[in-house]
């Protein structure tokens, strides 16, 4: 049982480059989300989705795009990378509409923008 | 406004002793869930324990228990009989009502001394 799978695990980009962080889950979870983790700030929500075709912004959405074409996949796109986007990125998923559901996390992607 | 506050950036505990990690939260929704996650140095996010706002008893999971004081809006994590493997970052998080967003505190780094 794979759970939540993120790729790549590490990536170095130059300022202005674009890339997509991949996230896939095999638990049939409706809710998926992307967080960034920065020292001293915990995890901050970037974007989330409550089902295929539905996405919405979180706390820090600027500079990132998402799409949800299937229940399983929720990629995060950086269109023009900036040094401020250097961070560790986590994808998470859970069942929908119930505050007692924990989120299941991928192992993270460590992204450095030079 | 900060929804989850963890006031202890770092904590030290002697092996085999108990330790309490503090978490206070802010919400006006009567229905919410509180979660604790562990993040070891390897980076993954591990779900530890859950407390629902309507739960009458404090949650327990093995050596982990949650000291839930609803009137004070606090949900402190208690780790009994600390082990060296408990050294990690610990995050408190909350989900409110029918909403799916999970808000995280800044985390507490726990170091267990031999």
% residues pLDDT > 90 (chain B) = 88
> Environment class of residue B74 by beta-carbon count within 10 Å: exposed (0-12), middle (13-18) or buried (19+)?
middle
Nearest-neighbour CA in chain A from B15: distance (Å): 26
d(CA B95, CA B68): 15
pLDDT tens figures, A33-52: 999 999 878 899 999 999 99
Listing DSSP states for A35-83 in one string gives EEE-TTS-EEEEEEEEETTEEEE-SS-TTEEE--SSSSB--EEESS--G
Helix or strand or coil: residue B86?
helix
Contacts of A49 in chain B (CB under 8 A): none
Nearest CA in chain B to A43: B104
Omega before A8 within 30 of 0, i.e. cis: yes
Band of residue A1 on the pLDDT scale cut at 50, 70, 90: low
Contacts of B93 in chain A (CB under 8 A): 43
β-partners of residue B65 are B60, B78
Nearest-neighbour CA in chain B from A98: distance (Å): 6
Note whether B50 contacts A50, CB cutoff 8 Å.
no
Note whether A101 contacts B91, CB cutoff 8 Å.
no
Scan for tokens 């004070």, then name that residue.
B72
pLDDT tens figures, B42-73: 999 999 999 999 998 999 999 999 999 999 99
Mutate to test the interface with A, among B7, B29, B45 (most CBs of A within 10 A): B45
Give the residue-averaged pLDDT of A68-85. Answer: 96
Cα→Cα distances B26→B4, B20, B74, Å: 7, 20, 9
d(CA B42, CA B29): 35
List % helix, strand, coil for chain B (3-state, nearest 5). 5, 50, 45
DSSP state of B62: T
Closest residue by Cα to residue B113 from B32, B14, B5: B14
B105 touches chain A (CB under 8 A): yes
Band of residue A93 on the pLDDT scale cut at 50, 70, 90: very high
Nearest-neighbour CA in chain B from A61: distance (Å): 14
Nearest CA in chain B to A109: B43
Note whether B44 contacts A105, CB cutoff 8 Å.
yes
Give the residue-averaged pLDDT of B15-22. Answer: 98
Contacts of A44 in chain B (CB under 8 A): 104
């Amino acid at each position: 049982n794979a759970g939540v799978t993120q790729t790549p695990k590490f990536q170095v980009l130059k300022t202005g480059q674009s890339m997509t962080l991949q996230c896939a889950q095999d638990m049939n979870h409706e809710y998926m989300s992307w967080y960034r983790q920065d020292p001293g700030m915990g995890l901050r929500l970037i974007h989330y989705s409550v089902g295929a075709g539905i996405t919405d912004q979180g706390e820090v959405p600027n500079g990132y795009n998402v799409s949800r074409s299937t229940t399983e996949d929720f990629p995060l796109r950086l269109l023009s990378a900036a040094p401020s986007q250097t961070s560790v990125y986590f994808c998470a998923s859970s069942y929908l509409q119930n505050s007692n559901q924990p989120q299941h996390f991928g192992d993270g992607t460590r992204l450095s923008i030079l | 406004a900060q929804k989850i506050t963890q006031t202890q950036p770092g904590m030290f505990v002697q092996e085999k002793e108990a330790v309490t990690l503090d978490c206070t939260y802010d919400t006006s929704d009567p229905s919410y869930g509180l979660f604790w996650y562990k993040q070891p140095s390897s980076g993954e996010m591990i779900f530890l324990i859950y407390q629902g706002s309507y739960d009458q008893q404090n949650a327990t999971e093995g050596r982990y228990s949650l000291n839930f004081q609803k009137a004070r809006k606090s949900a402190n994590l208690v780790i009994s009989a600390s082990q060296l493997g408990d050294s990690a970052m610990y995050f408190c998080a909350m989900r409110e009502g029918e909403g799916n967003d999970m808000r995280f505190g800044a985390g507490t780094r726990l170091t267990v001394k031999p």
